[in-house]
Amino acid sequence: MYGSSQQDTSIFGGKLMLQKEWQNVSLNYGGEYASETFSAKQRVFDLATAMASGAMTFEKLREHQRYPDIDTQNAALFAQANWRVAPDWLLTGGVRYQQTRYDVSDFVGLSQQEYVAQGLISGADAIPGGSSSTDVWLFNAGGVYDLSDRQQLWANFSQGFNVPDPAKVYGKGTYDYTSNPGRATLVKSVNINNTPLPGVKTNSIELGWRAAGESYQTQVAGYYSLSDKTQKINTSDLTLDVGNEESRIYGIEGQFDYYFTQNIYAGIQGQWIRSEEKNQGSWQDMSVQFASPSSAVTKVGYDNLNYGAELYLQSLADYEDADNNKLDGYHLAGLTGYYALPVGQVNFGIENLFNTVYETIWSQRAQVLYGTISAPELFRYNGQGRTFALSYSAEF
């Protein structure tokens, strides 16, 4: 089967926030609600036509349901307070209660839908849908301390809660074709009734320092986040497997800008990051499906408020996971600038001054994700080549 999928999502909601202030304390509180509907279709194309054209011409044969339909309702109450303990000391803290409900439709396996369409079988059992809900309390706390008029220290603790895409968790089933010849009989399945949706809770801490002087500004921060579950996409059917072992992301990020004169400046910002997950109790590098490589950006520029230009270099590091899947880093340089007119200004830019042939991070991930179901070359996407941009903008 050769095809492509289309996903449609509709979201609406609202948020109400109220504010109350006392002498040294401010409080924001309120509630929010969001509703999301999700559906996905799988188009099936004629394989012979696609292969003969080098995957350039597609003739649609039919369309199937790709994932179960999902309706999601999120409701939450929250409160966030700031307390100025002293002129140089600020404390923050908050709480959030969140409840989420899922309604999942019945779903016949994608392969079984195609077998029916081809006339290989007369019918197939549906993986049952249903409803489920989950709720969670989340907390955060932090503080900022002024070491001087030019320096600050800060620390934060926060909790996050992420629910994997239910469409990629549910809808997995094993079928038998012998007990009822000519029909696909459902033997077992992962559905909302027998498998609670595994929410992922993450605890994060951050410690940082920032400073500013007459000719410079800088900051550096270290962070560590620990999640109670791991996630991995099953490359055989593109469903999501959620494990019960922990995963973590930690690193250091920093920025330094220096002004040589009032108009000439240079800067650098970078992030060293490690992404790891547990496997049978031992930490290993996280799959390239979710991990992000370390990165850095350097820049030099001139700006006199009437015109200016900036040359920058963006660098992404290599990354290799525990399964020896790799992400090859690359370097991209660009030039941006502007010229002010009596009314408005002209903006210009050149992207990718030197590196015109490279594979994006998504291209490399896609080959790992989809390379087992089709030729990896079909998912090789080169990055944008040298690109010129010119625009005019005005405020009125």
pLDDT of the residue at 3: 75
**What mean pLDDT is reported for the chain?**
90
Average pLDDT over residues 103-107: 93
More confidently predicted of 283 and 162: 283
Which residues touch 178 (CB under 8 Å, ≥6 apart)?
none
Structural Rg of the chain based on CA atoms? 26
Percent of the chain with pLDDT over 90: 63
- Beta bridge partners of residue 174, listed in sequence order: 188
CA distance 56 to 63: 19
CB-hemisphere CA count at 13 Å for 184? Answer: 22
Binning pLDDT at 50, 70 and 90, where does residue 1 land?
low
pTM of the model: 0.83
Residue 292 three-state SS: coil
Q: In the structure encoding, which two tokens stand for residue 12, read together?
A: 């609406």
In the chain, where the domains are located: 1-192+208-212, 234-395
Q: Is the pLDDT of residue 236 over 80?
A: no
Q: In the structure encoding, which two tokens stand for residue 394, read together?
A: 């005005």
Average pLDDT over residues 88-117: 93
pLDDT of the residue at 238: 66
CA distance 327 to 146: 41
Q: Which of 250, 253, 254, 331 is nearest to 291 (CA)?
A: 250
pLDDT of the residue at 57: 81
CB-hemisphere CA count at 13 Å for 286? Answer: 25
Task: Count CB-CB contacts under 10 A for residue 334.
Answer: 19
DSSP run (H or E) holding 274:
strand 264-279
In the chain the first and final C-alpha atoms are separated, in Å, by 55
